[in-house]
Amino acid sequence: MSKALLTRFLARSVRHGRLCVVFADGSDHTFGAPAPGFPEIVLRFTDALVPRDIVMDPRLGAAEAFIDGRLLIEEGDVMGLVTLLRANNAWDRGGDIGRPSVLKRLVNRAGFAAEQINNRVGSKSNVAHHYDIGNALYALMLDGEHWQYSCAYWPDGVTTLAEAQGAKLAHIAKKLALSAGQEVLDIGCGWGGMAIHLARHHDVRVTGITLSEEQASLARERVRAAGVADKVTILLEDYRDTAASGRRFDRIVSVGMFEHVGRNQFETFFQACARMLADDGVMLLHTIGRMGRPGTTDAFTRKYIFPGGYIPALSETLAASEKFRLIAADIETLRLHYARTIRCWYANCMANRDAIIALHDERFFRMWTFYLAGAATVFEHGSMCNYQIQYIRSRHALPITRDYLLG
């Protein structure tokens, strides 16, 4: 029964490109037809329960079968497999690949709602789940110069990941409209790349806060090595505690952190930012976002990657921030930049496969590459993008035209 249901599902889902599935009983079925730009993939299921697991919850079922070695990719790779499925069902054209059963959706929504509490203890635990798995992994995956684990910026002429991450830092710095000597707060400072860039190139003082002990430790080392320890302070601190301290800042920047706040904490986050931002201050929020309406976090991401996280719709973000008189002075939608970035990370992981397996194991490597494949393709064919939202408290805080961004 499950085999027949999966066959019908794939027949509807794969029209361009070719997907051949070899079932555990030795039978096989081919879906779609070769087409320019679409991958050709051959899968083998090692047991008869794989079709059932995929039919029950296509995203999580396929992911766990792949992670556990029960779904084998004999031709192609996991990036090709996920690309094939997503490209055939692009969000722009009304596609929605991989919806779980009604029961699974209800269970996922209940679990998602419970995780969105995201208090101080939960936030630190959730951050540790992803970021404290070891700096060695990220050293093998990221650009190596800026240590940026967020969407890069790819203007014309930029060809390498390090150049694109440097371009992102410079792009954000322009939107902050910095002046020498200003006090800057970097919420979710990661390994210190943004703080180092701002201190080095704009002569500002930066306080970076993170909940990851691994990140904080390496960020401090990188700050010292960059020669900006007199201008940059890295704290292991929750943004709510920073706000409670009464400190105010001329500029606030937050890159790739808002996704971890949790929907129930959106207003708390913006209230804290409004409290910390100077009256004539500028804030730049860089976050993954949904191009469509609000939703929930899928079960795979919640279980394996970002527990407690939620990708906000633009409407949710603005609805929360407007309650605290934060003026959205500029909004930029980065549609394809993150896809290109993540494909670079995926390529780095594939090139360092043996080293990553030595650090963790093969099961982890399969889980991690499935995550990257899903992330890249959701920015290419799904409903995700990146938003850069510039906030001000006073309408006079910035020039009245955007020409200052061109310098």
Average pLDDT, the chain: 92
Q: Which amino acid is residue 160, in one-letter code? A: T
φ, ψ at 371 (rounded to 5°) = -60, -50
Once rounded to an integer, what is the mean pLDDT over residues 60-65? 96
Q: Which amino acid is residue 65, in one-letter code? A: A
- pLDDT at 337 exceeding the cut of 80: yes
- pLDDT at 123 exceeding the cut of 80: no
Taking only the tens place, the pLDDT of each residue in 7-30 is 999 999 999 999 999 999 999 999
Once rounded to an integer, what is the mean pLDDT over residues 359-365? 96
Positions of E strands within 67-182:
71-75
- For residue 273, the model assigns a pLDDT of 98
- Residue 75, beta-bridge partner list: 42
Q: How confident is the model at residue 101 (pLDDT cuts 50, 70, 90)?
A: very low
The label of the residue with tokens 């913006």 reads 270
Class of 2-100 per CATH? alpha beta
Q: How confident is the model at residue 228 (pLDDT cuts 50, 70, 90)?
A: very high
Q: How confident is the model at residue 308 (pLDDT cuts 50, 70, 90)?
A: confident
Checking DSSP bridges between strand 71-75 and strand 40-45, what pairing results, if any?
antiparallel
Structure token digits, residue 270:
């913006």
- For residue 106, the model assigns a pLDDT of 40
Q: Do domains 2-100 and 120-406 have the same CATH topology?
A: no
Taking only the tens place, the pLDDT of each residue in 252-298 is 999 999 999 999 999 999 999 999 999 999 999 999 999 999 999 88
CB atoms within 10 A of CB 364: 16
Once rounded to an integer, what is the mean pLDDT over residues 173-195? 98
120-406: CATH, from 3.40.50.720, 3.30.70.100, 3.40.50.150, 3.40.50.300? 3.40.50.150
Q: How confident is the model at residue 109 (pLDDT cuts 50, 70, 90)?
A: very low
- For residue 407, the model assigns a pLDDT of 73
Q: Cβ distance 58 to 99 under 8 Å?
A: yes
Tell me the pTM.
0.91
Task: Write down the domain spans for the chain.
Answer: 2-100, 120-406
Once rounded to an integer, what is the mean pLDDT over residues 90-104? 63
Structure token digits, residue 156:
């014309």
Structure token digits, residue 327:
């003026």
How many degrees, rounded to 5, is the angle at CA 90 between CA 42 and CA 60?
60
- The residue that leads in pLDDT, 134 or 172, is 172
- For residue 380, the model assigns a pLDDT of 97
DSSP string, 188-213: T-TTSHHHHHHHHHH--EEEEEES-H
Once rounded to an integer, what is the mean pLDDT over residues 190-209? 98
- pLDDT at 250 exceeding the cut of 50: yes
